Structure 1
Amino acid sequence: MTADTVVRDLPWGPAADGLDREYWDGLLAGELRLQRCGNCARWIWGPQWICATCHTFDPGWEAVEAVGTVYSWARSHTPFIAELADRLPYVTVLVELPGADNRRVLGILTGDDTDVQIGEQVVGHIELDEGATWPLLRWRRREGTQS
């Protein structure tokens, strides 16, 4: 960070209760981390204090390969948060992760976002916006899968 860089108060990062801190720390470390129950091995997303399947408290966090399939998508022409105003229109994708028992995570599709198809393969990448404290998981089409 240069002396001219201003840290902005952006609307993402760990929740005050600390429940999702491992997710954000994982992104800082270059990993996508999701919860997984140590008792029944069920993948959990969004973060929870307790496993909904076996009711074990304090599920652990594991790195997951950030590759998946577009389950759903939407093109936004309205900046729902001011930080996205200069990126209009943008495509949000709901991505199914085969490496995490098909748990689904959201993210912005970067690069070519024309003619997005459900079932298309995408690869996650982690980006740190200028002035941001916490990076974001974003998605790109996997080469050779565009229509």
Structure 2
Amino acid sequence: MNHRLDGADAPYWQGLEQGHLLLPRCAHCARWLWPAGHRCASCGGIGMVWEERPLRATLYSWTRTWHRFGFTENLDLPYVSIVVELDDCSVRLMGRMDDPTPDNPRIGEALVGRIGETVVGEDRIPTVIWSRAA
């Protein structure tokens, strides 16, 4: 069973599989909620509305990985894992950089994303892959 399809964040994973970034917003106070849950931490409301967001963000944090560890066999070394802050809703998401150059990423730089996948063992996980904005 695919556990990505039965939790509070199931619409996020389903959206990625269909090529869209969907994020939850409280139906009562309109605050963005991430990670996804069943109740709003701000107002206590129950009921989430999932909205599509553009794949534009600012780099918040990053790390470059040079060595193999479990389930990374399908990633080219080195690779860069990042945390971004989406431009229009201040939600922070994890992802990875596409074809990192020898130049280090810069905190605060503009990024654009695309939806791809990361292969972990035999599991294909939809992933947001980020690149430097042109």
On the 8 A contact 1:79/1:85 being kept in 2, the answer is: no
Q: Which runs of 5+ in 1 are unaligned?
A: 1-8
More strand by share: 2
- CA-based RMSD of the aligned residues comes to 2.4
- Residue 21 of structure 1 aligns with which residue? 10
Q: Which amino acid aligns with 2:108?
A: G
Counterpart Cα distance in 2 of 1:92 and 1:13: 23
Choose 106-115 or 80-89, whichever is displaced more.
80-89
- Residue 116 of structure 2 aligns with which residue? 127
Q: Which runs of 5+ in 2 are unaligned?
A: none
Higher relative contact order (CA 8 A, sep 6+): 1
Identify which of 74, 85, 98 aligns with 1:110: 98
**Residue-by-residue CA offset, 1:17-73 (whole Å, 9 max, x unaligned):** 421110011112211111101110100111111100001113221111110100111
**Residue-by-residue CA offset, 1:99-118 (whole Å, 9 max, x unaligned):** 22x11101001123432100
Counterpart Cα distance in 1 of 2:82 and 2:75: 19
TM-score (norm 2): 0.84
- Residue 66 of structure 1 aligns with which residue? 55
* Identity within the alignment, %: 35
- Residue 137 of structure 1 aligns with which residue? 128
On the 8 A contact 2:116/2:127 being kept in 1, the answer is: yes
Identify which of 83, 89, 102 aligns with 1:94: 83
TM-score (norm 1): 0.78
